[in-house]
Amino acid sequence: MRLTFYGVRGSCPCSGPSYATFGGATSCVLLETDTGTPIIFDAGTGMRALGTDLQPRLHERGIPLHARVLLTHLHYDHLLGLPFFSPLEDPGAVVEIYGPRQGETSLADLINGAVTPPFFPVQMTEFAGDVRLVEVADEDFATEDATVTSRWVPHTDPTLGYRVESGGVSVAYVPDHQAPLDRLTISDGVRDLCQGVDVLIHDAQYDDEEFARRSDWGHSTVAYAVRVALEAGVRQLVLFHHDPAHDDERILALEEAARQIPGADGLELIVAAREGMTLDVGAMT
């Protein structure tokens, strides 16, 4: 199993020389197995670069894309890359988007309503590829060579996290997670997703001081991400959903601070996600 990070930022994209190391595109991560259909975590602005990478390879092989997108929720930073995903321009492409219903409105109605004039110049139905929208909630489902677990995660709107298991290895993706005020307890859903995974990709948007000012904004601290990883027996922790106010220097400092938390040396790896970073996820020997 291989993870490639195309967007690692939270809230909104950002650019400039002070973001050169970690990047400024929002949430989008590619998961590939040896034999299965690729899985894409979220459709933030990093999805544009993912499409730019994938499309020439697909054209060279003479086959259209078939992929699954696991959408956590519908905030802009997790959705804006979808209409810029170039493989959707190819006839025969199939993109299955799994995501949560928001209240009384269906997932299909909301996404089709977001990608339409006057918000966007074309509608989803105008792409040559086929976009299939599938509502999921608290459930498990199978793909060709993977098992996917979706669970509700505390955030500001209905939000899912995902766990993917394939070939004896597992990844949990929890990019937007409202830490509890005490930053001690862990919700049952988050525990289900994270328990014993090889890699946990977790919201680490704030430090403790920032969380004190924004404790109801729907996010976690770096220290709480480490706590979740330790309590869940995770092998490797990827700090994710970086605040747009955090430049490279700040994220490097937060990454180092995470490694210095008591007990953090019990994790095999703690790393702040960088655009273009690839992790080969293998079973523990």
Q: Is 97 helix (H, G, I), strand (E, B) or coil?
A: strand
pLDDT of residue 36: 78
pLDDT score at 143:
85
Mean pLDDT of the chain: 94
The CA-CA-CA angle for residues 29, 31, 35, to 5°, reads: 160
Q: How far is CA 75 from CA 58, 159, 263, in A?
A: 29, 10, 34
* CA–CA distance, 189 with 223 (Å, rounded to integer): 19
Q: Per residue in 254-283, pLDDT tens?
A: 999 999 999 999 999 999 999 999 999 985
Distances from the Cα of 111 to the Cα of 74, 97, 125, 152, 154, angstroms: 8, 10, 11, 20, 22
Domain ranges of the chain: 2-280
CA dist., res. 171 & res. 169, Å (int): 7
pLDDT, tens only, 170-225: 999 999 999 999 999 999 999 999 999 999 999 999 999 999 999 999 999 999 99
Give 55-109 pLDDT, tens digit per residue: 998 899 999 999 999 999 999 999 999 999 999 999 999 999 999 988 888 999 9
Domain 2-280: CATH class, spelled out: alpha beta
pTM, 2 dp:
0.96
Neighbours of 37 (CB within 10 A): 16
Using one digit for the tens of pLDDT, what is the confidence trace for 31-56? Answer: 998 877 899 999 999 999 999 999 99
pLDDT tens for each residue of 224-256? 999 999 999 999 999 999 999 999 999 999 999
Locate 201 and state its tokens: 């990709």
